[in-house]
Amino acid sequence: MLEEKRQILIATTNEGKFTEIKKFLHDLNFDFLSLKDLKNIPEEPEESEKTIEGNAILKAKYYADKTGLMSLADDGGIFVDTLDGWPGVISARIGKDAEDRRKVLLEKVKDIPEEKLTASFKAVSALYNPDKEELFLAYGERKGKVLKEERIANGFGYDPIFYLPDLNKTYSELTTVEKNATSHRGIALNKIKYFLADHFSNKHIVVPVGIIIKEGKMLISKRNDPHNPRFHGKWELPGGSMEYGEKLEENVKREILEETACKVEIIKQLNEIQVVASTGKNFNYQVYLIPFVCKYIESVGEINDTEVMETKFVNLDDLTNYDFIEKNKEFLINLLPEIREVINEMSS
């Protein structure tokens, strides 16, 4: 069954900006909404901060608080070097609409030689998660120059007069894909994209586990995890998640030694792999349990009591008498025929 996508509010009513952002983030597993998609659109907050960073944070928190949705807001502007960065943070407020704002800027620079009209487009994207009161900021900057004549194709805002010498095009002459690949907003959004993918995408965790055999009995361990009542005090097979660059066999021997102080010899990887799916608040994850039958060699110390309360060797027929973590008992029962077969091979 497909999971329901989490919603993220892109806090804008500007269709051009929304399309640009949504296209950039579309392959993430979220449902992206604009303010126009809401039944009740909150009144716009006053952008009272003195920096684009401050305004981005203000808007992201404001809309998240009003809607309860994780909210992505940005603020940006065009910073003209010869005008000491003007209009900068007030770029969106020097005229009644985009066309008027371009006229105001062009009037301001009409007597300045074009070669001196270097400028930067800067953006700050703010992502605010109201569930965790967590804020993530991403910065982007693209250098170019201001043209005195508009080149109108696509785009919005100052796009028709922001020229990129390296591409010989204005922002407005780029496709959405081209603009996202090079623009100030694209640079910031790329960082947002990686943050979302890292923090909210589904996780896949590979855990090799040891079926340790000694004189026909199997070692099981009782989990010590007091902060997680689902697992604390329940039985399981020793094992843990992979370290970077580690092989499965290396992992299972290391984890067994660290948890139980047992040295083992790996005999065989069994055919069945158990997949355990869990749902978290911010992401879902699947654990893949990969079983290895191991021969007990010796104990070289004490168990790791921060992870394990106790260990014991038990008869295979008695496994059903123990309270295992979630579906581990069912997993072991399904493995028993193959485990017995390997034990017989070990004894012969």
Q: List Cβ neighbours of 46 (8 Å cut-off, separation of 6 or more).
A: none
Q: What is the C-alpha radius of gyration for the chain, rounded to an integer number of angstroms? A: 30
- pLDDT of 3: 55
Question: DSSP 3-state assignment of 33?
Answer: strand
Say if residue 81's pLDDT is above 80.
Answer: yes
Residue 282: its pLDDT value, please? 59
Whether the CB-CB separation of 178 and 170 falls below 8 Å is answered with: no
Instruction: Please give the pLDDT value at position 265.
Output: 98
Q: Which of these, 153, 52, 157, lies nearest to 101 by C-alpha position? A: 157
The reported pLDDT for the residue numbered 118 is 98
Catalytic residues: 75
More confident residue, 14 or 343: 343
Residue 191 and residue 73: Cα distance in Å, rounded?
Answer: 14
Is 13 assigned a ligand-binding role in the annotation?
Answer: yes
157 marked ligand binding residue:
yes
Residue 155 scores a pLDDT above 90: no
Q: Per the annotation, does 5 bind a ligand?
A: no
Using one digit for the tens of pLDDT, what is the confidence trace for 106-150?
A: 999 999 998 999 999 999 999 999 999 999 999 999 999 999 999
Kindly report the CA angle at 129 between 125 and 130, in degrees rounded to 5? 130
pLDDT at 153: 61
Q: How far apart are CA 338 and CA 211, in angstroms?
A: 12
- Is 100 annotated in a binding site? The answer is no
pLDDT at position 20, please?
86
Adjacent-strand bridge partners of 73: 126
Averaged pLDDT score across all residues of the chain:
93
Would you say 173 is a known binding-site residue? no
338 annotated as belonging to a binding site for a ligand: no
- Tokens matching residue 315: 């008869």
Beta strands in 201-283 (DSSP E): 203-214, 217-223, 235-236, 262-269, 274-279
- Residue 114 marked ligand-binding: no
Structure pTM? Answer: 0.66
Q: What is the pLDDT, as a whole number, of residue 2?
A: 45
Does the annotation flag 75 for ligand binding? Answer: yes
Residue-wise pLDDT tens digits, 14-33: 888 899 899 999 989 899 99
Question: Is pLDDT at 173 greater than 90 in this prediction?
Answer: yes
> Cα–Cα distance between 201 and 221 in angstroms, integer?
31
Q: Is 279 annotated as a binding residue?
A: no
311 is known to lie in a ligand binding site: no
Tens digit of pLDDT for each residue in 180-217?
A: 899 999 999 999 999 998 888 778 899 999 999 999 99
Span 56-76, average pLDDT: 97
Tell me what pLDDT residue 154 has: 63
Fold of 6-200: Maf protein (3.90.950)
Q: Where are the domains of the chain?
A: 6-200, 203-347
Looking at the structure, give the CATH architecture of the domain made up of residues 203-347: Alpha-Beta Complex (3.90)
82 in a labelled binding site: no
Task: State mean pLDDT over 239-246.
Answer: 94
Q: What is the pLDDT of residue 277?
A: 82
